[in-house]
A and B are shown apart, each in its own frame.
Chain A
Amino acid sequence: MLSRVAESIYWMSRYLERAESVARLVDVNLHLTLDAAADYGDQWEPLIDTVGGQPLFAGRYGVAERDSVMRFLTFDRENPNSILSCAWKARENARSVRDTISSEMWEQANRFYAFLKGYAESDYALMNPHDFYTEVKMATHLFDGIADATMSHGDAWHFLRLGEMVERADKTSRILDVKYFILLPRWQGIGSTVDSIQWAALLKSASAFEMYRKKYKSISPAKVADFLILNREFPRAIRWCLDQAAESLQCLSTGMRQSAPNQAERRLGRLVSELHYARIEEVISRGLHEFLEDLQGYLSSVHEAIAETFFSATLPLTEPVKSVALGGGQ
């Protein structure tokens, strides 16, 4: 498929996943502040750290509180990672590849943006946050379902999944990083009710609570970290995401001219192996925060290798070229 189209699909998918992650993050924080305001405090600042954009936020809103953070992360067009900005970029990418994706996917990307735009000027989201963020999550789930059910699972679909999985792995690591940082000191006081509520909230932000309960009965920070990083079955666990990404990458790489693994495969393959063989005790003793930071850095190098390998072709697929004058006017 066309490199430009592959790149747009990849980004469309990343932006939709990012919109969903931001919605999850805001939603869970709302629950935390409702359930345990006295103990947990009104912690809105860390959300901005997770998504990025602290200087922009400070310049535009000043104090980080419920309404200002919600507006910034949900509807602010100046914030490149707000849900609305992500939905807009996803829609524009979708628009540029609407002949490749199914019409149903395009309609859903378009509808998602129209839905957000419709609420951008009203207070509906601030007044009914739970309903609103649930709708956002459902809209992106619907897109994923439509993509799975209406598009051939060929190259375009693999680029879609690659973008989604790389983004989701990154966001899970960021959510975990921030929450862990806030929650860990409190946990030392041994599982009070409040603590388990908060850890449960962290799991819920990844829709992981029920699935976690089926695997582990009690809630402990190490087990939560294990579940969200190393679980091989849960679809928001980092390892699961990267297994999927590696599978797509392999499909995308078959039939290329060179037979050796490409740069993207090599980098992702190494990361996946590490997650396959790591144990959570080691990770924690080495420092969870450092581990997650390394992982994020490594993921961004995987992304760069994907871009280099697939989005900037220079050699003919079949017959060799006589004169490789690729510079000419390009």
Chain B
Amino acid sequence: MYRMGITFAVYGGAEGAEKILPFDIIPRIIDASEWNKIEQGLKQRGHAINLFLADIYGKQRILSEKIVPRELVLSAPTYRPQCVGLTVPRGIWNHISGTDLIRDETGQFYVLEDNVRCPSGVSYVLENRRILKRALPQVFDASRVRAVDDYPSRLLNVLEFLAPTPMDSAVTVVLTPGMYNSAYFEHAFLAQQMGIELVEGRDLLVIDDAVYMRNTRGLERVDVIYRRIDDDFLDPLAFRSDSLLGVPGLMRAYQAGNVALANAPGTGVADDKAVYAYMPKIIKYYLGEEPLIPNVPTYLCGEKRDRDYVIANMENMVIKATDGSGGYGMLVGPTSTASDRALFREKITAHPRQYIAQPAMSLSRAPVLVEGHFEGRHVDLRPYVLYGQEIYVLPGGLTRVALKRDSLVVNSSQGGGSKDTWVLQS
């Protein structure tokens, strides 16, 4: 793996430290009927989230009708006033999402988190598959596993669909924060697989509200940007002014309709962990349907009754920052120490809006090869959803594994590993 350079960088370690995402050889298998339910559930959710985003940056009906508290949405740090009134290309905001699912002891799947900013990990899905095909060709052949290899071309179709120019002449790029970003491998991998340029902020410039990239023969116009930079760093003139990663003037070019961004800026508000708690209501409101995949019960520390309950039951809760991701800044109650809990009690009291809690679920386990024998480890599943001309769910996804026995944390940045996920044909 190191030779193949499938690495990710860990923040807070030595500068530029690269690690290999540990890979477990035993695939996780999901049969066709079970997958069908997941697929329908994710399409439903993707559809509702798009309508929600269009609404809160538009007429804000859902807030006026008090289905979701106005204050809760507007106070989310990922809510972007810069996006109010924006017309997004083709009316789509959340082109690429990766939804984290878990399964409890009864086999029921739950949505643990929506990721509609820049979800990463799909490159591991593709690489894990490549390795398994090489390692277990006979098993693979006999199992009738649905293919995941066409993800990059499907992604490219979604991106080109957004272009302000005719699709076949669209210039599309992947925008990365650079090679020291934890997901740089993936950015490069996807650009390469799609056959498009991987650019950094310094490669782009905006002239007269049009975006250009600096080429060896001169400047070339850019139509679509698959950006893997958070909103905050996208454009120092519109968001954080100290950002060196972004492109000054990019938002103006976007607002003028001269360039498309995927995902649209401002989508992060939909994966805010407090907004998450309202997702069943959001689905019901826009689609008139019950959610096909339920939420994990969630307590909002911003609401007094919930907060009191959370503080009284910290040992049995997983507490998360509402704008956090990657497993940073969370408390896993069952394995926490008294001082961890005291620290979180203080944090919650000081900034209640910023925390939510969920009961520590007994995540399902899958067998993992440990020093020559099998052991059970907790797993979750992140399928990837593309929203273009239609909504497409990649049949498979990243199964993340907690590599420490009994650990509930599967994030790669916290020492988790991954497995290939086999969705069987019916």
Which A residues fall within an 8 A CB radius of B? 1-6, 92, 95-96, 98-100, 103, 106-107, 110-111, 114, 155, 159, 252, 255-257, 310-319, 321-326, 328-330
Contact = CB atoms under 8 A, between A and B. Distances in A.
B215 A99 contact: no
B179 A2 contact: no
Report which residue of B203, B217, B219 has the largest number of chain A beta carbons within 10 angstroms of its beta carbon: B217
A316 B220 CA distance: 6
B207 A110 contact: no
24 contacts: A2-B197, A2-B199, A3-B203, A3-B214, A3-B215, A4-B203, A92-B179, A98-B188, A99-B174, A99-B192, A103-B4, A103-B192, A114-B2, A257-B218, A313-B215, A315-B218, A316-B219, A316-B221, A317-B217, A317-B220, A318-B221, A322-B208, A328-B249, A329-B236
Given A1-B197, A106-B5, A316-B218, 15 more contacts: A1-B216, A2-B197, A2-B216, A3-B215, A95-B179, A99-B189, A99-B198, A103-B4, A107-B3, A110-B5, A316-B219, A318-B221, A321-B208, A329-B248, A329-B249
A313 B216 contact: yes
Contact of A323 (B207, B214, B221, B248): B207
Nearest to B248: A329
A227 to B, nearest CB: 34
B199 A107 contact: no
Interface in B169-193: 174, 178-179, 187-189, 191-192
A316 B207 contact: yes
Interface of B: 2-5, 174, 178-179, 187-189, 191-192, 197-200, 202-203, 205, 207-208, 212-221, 236-237, 248-249
Given A316-B207, A316-B221, A1 B215 contact: yes
Contacts of B249: 328-329
B218 A110 contact: no
B362 to A, nearest CB: 41
Contacts of A3: 203, 214-216
Contact of A310 (B3, B179, B216): B216
B104 to A, nearest CB: 40
Contacts of A1: 197, 215-216
Nearest to B216: A310
Given A107-B3, A317-B215, A328-B248, A4 B202 contact: yes
A262 B201 CA distance: 28
A326 B249 CA distance: 12
Nearest to A6: B216
B189 A326 contact: no
A147 B4 CA distance: 17
A315 B219 contact: yes
B3 A110 contact: yes
B415 to A, nearest CB: 23
Report which residue of A100, A312, A313, A325 has the largest number of chain B beta carbons within 10 angstroms of its beta carbon: A313
Contacts of B217: 255-257, 313, 317
Contacts of A319: 221
A252 B216 CA distance: 8
Nearest to B190: A99
Contacts of A315: 218-219
A326 B218 contact: no
A96 B179 contact: yes
B176 to A, nearest CB: 9
A317 B203 CA distance: 15
Report which residue of A4, A106, A318 has the largest number of chain B beta carbons within 10 angstroms of its beta carbon: A4
B159 to A, nearest CB: 15
B109 to A, nearest CB: 35
Contacts of A256: 217-218
A316 B215 CA distance: 9
Report which residue of A5, A257, A315, A319 has the largest number of chain B beta carbons within 10 angstroms of its beta carbon: A5
A323 B203 contact: no
B303 to A, nearest CB: 43
Nearest to A255: B217
B179 A4 contact: no
A95 B218 contact: no
Report which residue of B197, B219, B220 has the largest number of chain A beta carbons within 10 angstroms of its beta carbon: B219
A107 B3 CA distance: 6
A244 to B, nearest CB: 18
Given A4-B200, A4-B202, A96-B179, A111 B3 contact: yes
Nearest to B188: A99
B248 A2 contact: no
